Chains A and B, each alone.
Chain A
Amino acid sequence: MTRKILLLCLFCLLAVPCQAAVSGDIALIPVQNHGRIKPFSAFAHDTLQFISGKDAWQGQNATEFLMGFLAKPQDILKVPFIRVDHPSLKQLLGVGEDEHAVSALQIEGSLASLEAIVKSSSDKRARDERPSTAEQQAETVYQRYAAVTRLASGELLTVIPAAGNEAWGSPYFINSPQAAAFQQLVRDYADHSSELAGEVGQWISGVNARLTEEEQSKIRMEAGYTALKPFYRASLCYLLAFILLLIARPLPQLLGSIALTAGFVFHTAGLALRALILSRPPVANMYETMIFMDWALVLCVGFYAIFQKRRAFLSSGALASVMVMLYANLLPVDQSLDVLAPVLRSSYWLTIHVITIMFSYSLFTLAMAVSHRHLFLSALGKFSADDDKGSAHVIYRLLQAGLIALGAGTILGGVWANETWGRFWGWDPKETWAFITFLGYMAILHLRYSKRLDNFALAVAGVIGFLFVLMTWYGVNFVLGRGLHSYGSGSGGAVWIIWFLAFEAVFLAFVSLKKKAVNKS
């Protein structure tokens, strides 16, 4: 049985889709996109992901998909790959209820209506009002549509380098030997010509001659990042680790620890690559902070396992890290490697502030995971008195450490605010919620300290306290949608949060009832 599970898990890990060999060097063609120079594979991936929400289209990876259209870019207008989710927008655009995407041509039929909704939305923004969900979705669909039309005109394909910080050109708009060479390359791709490989190599070396060594290595790194999908691999490793660690035998425990380590290596590599490609710490948007928090969480679990010899919590940590990864992919947060708004650039205090806060969140998340384990085992009556005490002690210490990091991180946020806006504290919603979270955990610790919370109640508090973290972190941006921390803002994802809350409610009700029954007997 154990062996079967192991084989299944190994199969899952290897089943990661790999970049097909056909794309080869084409993936490395430099493109200027969103203010950065990136490899074609990353450009194609980001563009396809933005328009369709998918990594691949009908069995083709993003690079192949986009290359296939370069000979006749107009054809892309007919591809029904513009993602539309909102039911009323679907109705407006004439999309069937079971479908989730339209082509640009289909949108053109009702473009006026779509533009009118986008306008009403931007009018609301101008008045500092929050547009409705349908309006926000209309804006996204419109941006997706605009991206498709810019692909169709060839405008988006800026591959012809320019001097210094100038905008690069598109071979469809420029009349030059270079443009002709790229057009030839595109035709040869469509004809499967044998000369293609040579032309691509020549093209890349021609462009690279105009780039710095650093830019070239960043392009290679980003192509590697796009192909590797490090966070996807890391989450599979963590899932594998969780399953293995549940089996209380030496071999699975060992393999589980190895899987967890492997996941951590992928995780670290992914963060390092992002940092190197963007030349900044990878903590600047919602997605990055989630991934970074998860990394810190695994780090803390490892620390506990090694230095405190408490391996019992490894499985809780592995499960929590899988869940965070899963949520980072489920929630509508931007995963692309984007350049930063001026306020977030080159601020040393900002980086320390975010990293400290993320460490505190990772401790609270871990406390939440251990609390779940505690409640579950305690409710089933499977805890010895020693285990019960030990587990509660871990929760208490995690909450203490988390609270110190939260306090320090919040103060560092004030330092950043003072350096950036000239005020330390202004009751901005994010600040206010950070304060609420601080007060909440502080109350929990004081209740425990004054012996008003027993072990079970402490674990319940560890679960409930995390809801404050969730609100401060995600809710302020995506539910309240106001305030200075609105970079990383958006809407949606409510379904997944509601699922989480519903699960917690059911879970807490279940363990409380069960615990009562156990206590009686």
Chain B
Amino acid sequence: MRRLVAKLGSVAFTVTISVGLIILLVTSTSMEAARGTSFAQKVFYQTRWFDLLIALLWINIFCSTVIRFPFRKEQSGFLITHIGILGILASALVMKHAGIDGQMALVEGETAGAIKEAGYVLAVQYPNQEESYLDLRQGSVQLVFTKDRLNSQTPFCPLQKKSSLQGKDVPGVAVTLRIANILEHATESQKVVEGAPASAKNRAVHVRLKSRQMGLDASSWLLERDEGNSSSREAMAGAVRLSLREKKNIASNPEPVLKVCDKDGKEILSVKAGDKDIPQVIAVNKTGYSIKGLAFYPYASVTPKGLANVPAGRAPNPAVSFDLVDAKGEAIHKIAFAFFPDFESMHPGKDKQASGLKFRLEAGEPEDYSAASVDGAQISLLYADAGVWRYEARLNGKVTSEGDVVPEKVLPAGWMDVQFEVDQVLEHARVGYDVVRSSSEQDPMAAKIVVPGTANEDNIWVVENRPSPLTLTQGTVSLFLTTKSRELPFTVTLKQFRRIDYPGTMDAQGFESDVVLKDAARGVVLEKTISMNHPLSYGGYKLFQSSYSDPGSGAKTSIFTVARNPGIPFIYISSIIAVLGAMLQFKGSKDETV
């Protein structure tokens, strides 16, 4: 035992553990620089083994102190310093989990008595608006449908909303769900696959772009058509505009033609939309409908005022707009895009007429369109009918590099050190979406919920801040992810939030919140202003000004950090002891030269 203590308290062990910690911490900070703060916290600092290492350091200091017993007078500096350091480390280790740390966001005029803590719960809102909270961890969870909960007639009442009935206390029908996957940061990813060869042509390329100088390593799909995205033929990768265009000579550029088909898909009318003198009213054969005020936009873009020509700096997407007038003279406004034929189905409007007519615009790029007019850096991928692909890179309109696309061959852009590569080429692309893990800490949390046993084992993804409805045989519930909350022994009301700028600038000089703190149990009412570096202390809690949001007009939101750390006084006292001891040691120390 004595020998073990001597070993653990030896200088050699001190140096070993110090060097070990140094190597570990150098690694962890480098990882943090590369992969973000929360990664480093999760993988290093918040782990048990890290606590264990610090504990080992504690044991080393403790043993080194013990083996010097009985102490001589000149060792008092050494002794006090080491006791102080032992105190700091012990308080830090023991109190690590004793503290409370959360956020409170208040809109001006609002009162709250709870904080949000780190961590999430799965919230279930039953048909009667009642909410219950379930632990968010992989495995099974139970929803309990009681009679009350199924009663959707209960009027919405915010006060009743938070009654947290424990499911098992109330008899009812239980449904088991499974949390199959939890992603701390998730994003919707586009999944592009080759569809059936018989399906309509829809060309797509996957382009990967790299530049060390610009810190760029991005990839993107470019699609001829995509239901959800009118600008699928373009993408930005860093500062570079990628686009997918048809390679053709201008002479063969098709004239824009608006084709009208009936319910069965039979073409019944075709109008040359680009003509200068289109008649004001065009009758649609044998249907009683007519097209009025047909207008063609070669560079169409949807603006709040309707369609407009916005040619600057983008690949064109021609469109027509017109009124469809029925026999009674009632009109509805219609829009058809050449490269976005599904616009109509996504924006159905008030189609009172139910004409069943389908409109399709066939058009190429406008004759005067030229990639040369696009500012900045761009890479275009050009397709021709024969399935041959070419590329063209330009900087401020000037061609810097062009040639044939060879899949998976790295091609130069001709400016800076940008290189790109086309790694997939599809002819009949089909688009789907999937929720995947994201590396960005800004992205929301998501959980995958599986309903076992049902015929369609449909998985639903519940994404933070977005309620997801789930229909079961018992009724429809709403699932959402929310942060854990903790009740405080007092309430806080935000009266006003102010941001003060340095005169003549947009740079903040300070943030201030006027608050009223009420502790009903003790009959305390405090009116204070919290500002940066000037927190409000009450009952061991401290409220710090942490952030804010200002919508521009109306009430502002002030965000406070609320913390309670019972270990702090111990750390402060230990620190004072350690520093005083070190000074004493410094005064009495003699350098023992080798």
Q: Complex: how many Å from CA A480 to CA B441?
A: 18
Q: Which residues in A have their C-beta under 8 angstroms from that of B562?
A: 422
Within 8 A of A (CB), among B490-523: 501-505, 507-511
Contact residues in B for A119 (Cβ distance below 8 Å): 239
Q: Are A427 and B45 in contact (CB under 8 A)?
A: yes
In the complex, the answer to whether B19 meets A411 with C-beta atoms within 8 Å is no
Residue interface mask B12-27, A partner, CB < 8 A = 1: 1011001101100110
Whether the pair B509, A127 counts as a contact (CB closer than 8 A) is no
The reply to whether B565 and A120 form a contact with Cβ atoms under 8 Å apart is no
Instruction: Report the Cα distance A128→B592, complex, angstroms.
Output: 50
Q: Which residues of chain B from 233 to 268 have a CB within 8 Å of any chain A CB? A: 236, 238-241
**Number of residue pairs across A and B with beta carbons under 8 Å?**
225
Q: Does B40 contact A (CB under 8 A)?
A: yes
Contact of B579 among A131, A342, A408, A436 (CB under 8 A): A408
Contact of B533 among A130, A346, A432 (CB under 8 A): A346
Asked if A73 is an interface residue, CB under 8 A from chain B, the answer is no
CB of A439 within 8 A of CB of B21, answer yes
Give A408 to B214 CA distance when docked, in angstroms: 42
Asked if B504 contacts A35 (CB within 8 A), the reply is: yes
Cα A11 to Cα B376 in complex, Å, equals 52
B594 touches A454 (CB 8 A): yes
Q: Is B579 a contact of A483 with CB atoms below 8 Å?
A: no
- Chain B residues whose CB sits within 8 angstroms of the CB of A36 once the complex forms: 502
When the two chains form their complex, are residues B376 and A113 in contact, meaning their CB atoms are under 8 A apart? yes
- 0 or 1 for each of B551-576: is its CB under 8 Å from A? (1 = yes): 00000000001110101100110010
**Does A407 lie within 8 Å of B11, measured CB to CB?**
no
Which of B395, B546, B582, B593 is within 8 Å of A392, CB to CB?
B593
Stretch binding the partner chain, chosen from A183-191, A259-267, A444-452? A444-452
Q: A134-B214, A342-B532, A400-B589 are in contact. Are A418 and B565 (CB under 8 A)?
A: yes
Interface string of A394-437 (1 = CB under 8 A from B): 00110011011001100100110011111111010100110110
Tell me, yes or no, whether B440 is within 8 Å of chain A by CB: yes
Verify A393–B215 contact, CB threshold 8 A.
no
A411 to B396, CA, bound (A): 55
B-chain residues with CB within 8 Å of residue A432 when the two chains form the complex: 25, 28-29
Nearest CB of chain B from residue A459's CB, rounded to whole Å:
13
Q: List residues 189-225 of chain A with CB under 8 A from any CB of chain B.
A: none
- A91 contacts B586, C-beta separation under 8 Å: no
Identify which of B30-38, B153-161, B163-171, B277-285 touches chain A: B30-38
Query: In chain B between 13 and 70, which residues have their CB closer than 8 angstroms to a CB of chain A?
Result: 14-15, 18-19, 21-22, 25-26, 28-30, 32-33, 36-37, 40-41, 44-45
Residues in A with CB closer than 8 Å to B29 are 429, 432-433, 476, 480
Among B37, B376, B505, the residue within 8 A (CB) of A116 is: B376
With an 8 A cutoff between CB atoms, is B228 at the interface? no
Complex CA–CA separation, A448 to B591 (angstroms):
8
Which A residues touch B101, using CB under 8 A? 422-423
B456 interface residue (CB < 8 Å to A): no
Residue A482 lies at the interface, judged by CB distance under 8 Å to chain B: yes
B377 touches A116 (CB 8 A): yes
The interface residues of chain B lying within 8 Å CB-to-CB of A88 are 213-214, 416-417
Taking A419-B535, A422-B101, A443-B15 as known contacts, 5 extra A-B pairs with beta carbons closer than 8 A to each other, sorted by chain A number, are A109-B396, A113-B376, A113-B396, A345-B532, A424-B567
A116 to chain B: closest residue by CB: B239
The answer to whether B542 has its CB under 8 Å from any CB of chain A is yes
Distance between Cα atoms of A166 and B508 in the complex (Å): 14
Q: Shortest distance in angstroms between B118's beta carbon and chain A's nearest beta carbon?
A: 12
- Chain B contacts of A35 at CB under 8 A? 501-505, 507, 509
Question: Once bound together, how far apart are the Cα atoms of A420 and B44, in whole Å?
Answer: 25
Do the beta carbons of A453 and B594 come within 8 Å of each other? yes
**In the assembled complex, A490 has its CB within 8 A of some CB on chain B:** no
Which residues of the partner chain A approach B395 to less than 8 Å between Cβ atoms? 92, 113
Nearest chain-A residue to B567 (Cβ)? Answer: A424
18 A-B pairs with CB atoms under 8 Å apart are: A34-B505, A88-B417, A113-B239, A113-B376, A116-B240, A127-B440, A132-B215, A132-B216, A133-B215, A396-B591, A421-B544, A427-B28, A446-B11, A446-B18, A449-B592, A480-B30, A482-B33, A482-B37
Asked if A422 and B415 make an inter-chain contact with CB atoms under 8 angstroms apart, the answer reads no
Residue of B nearest to A447 (CB): B15
Instruction: Please give the number of chain A residues whose Cβ is less than 8 angstroms from any Cβ of chain B in the complex.
Output: 89
Expressed in whole angstroms, the Cα–Cα distance for A475 and B14 within the complex equals 26
Complex interface: chain B residues within 8 A of A342 (CB): 508-511, 532-533
Nearest neighbor of A346 in chain B, beta-carbon distance: B533
Task: Pick the contact of A343: B33, B376, B533 (CB < 8 A).
Answer: B533
The docked-state distance in angstroms from the alpha carbon of A492 to that of B377 is 25
Cβ–Cβ contact B535 & A113, under 8 A: no
What residue of chain B has the Cβ atom nearest to residue A343's Cβ?
B532
Contact of A92 with B509 at beta-carbon distance under 8 Å, contacts A436-B22, A439-B18 already known: no
Which residues 449-500 in A have Cβ within 8 Å of B in the complex? Answer: 449-455, 476, 479-483
B65 shortest CB reach to chain A, Å: 14
Please tell me if the beta carbons of B571 and A110 are within 8 angstroms of each other in the complex.
Answer: no
- Chain B residues lying within 8 Å of A389, measured Cβ to Cβ, are 593
Q: How far is the CB of B333 from chain A (nearest CB, A)?
A: 34
Distance of A414 Cα from B440 Cα, bound (Å)? 29
- With a cutoff of 8 Å between Cβ atoms, the chain B residues found around residue A387 in the complex are none
The answer, among B15, B565, B568, B592, for a CB contact under 8 Å with A446, is B15
**Bound-complex Cα distance A113 to B238 (A):** 11
In the complex, A347 has a CB within 8 A of chain B: yes
Contacts of A481 in B (CB 8 A): 33
Rounded to whole angstroms, the CA-CA distance of A511 and B507 in the bound complex is 51
Would you call A75 an interface residue if the criterion is a C-beta within 8 Å of the partner chain's C-beta atoms?
A: no
Q: Which residue of B lies closest to A34 (CB)?
A: B505
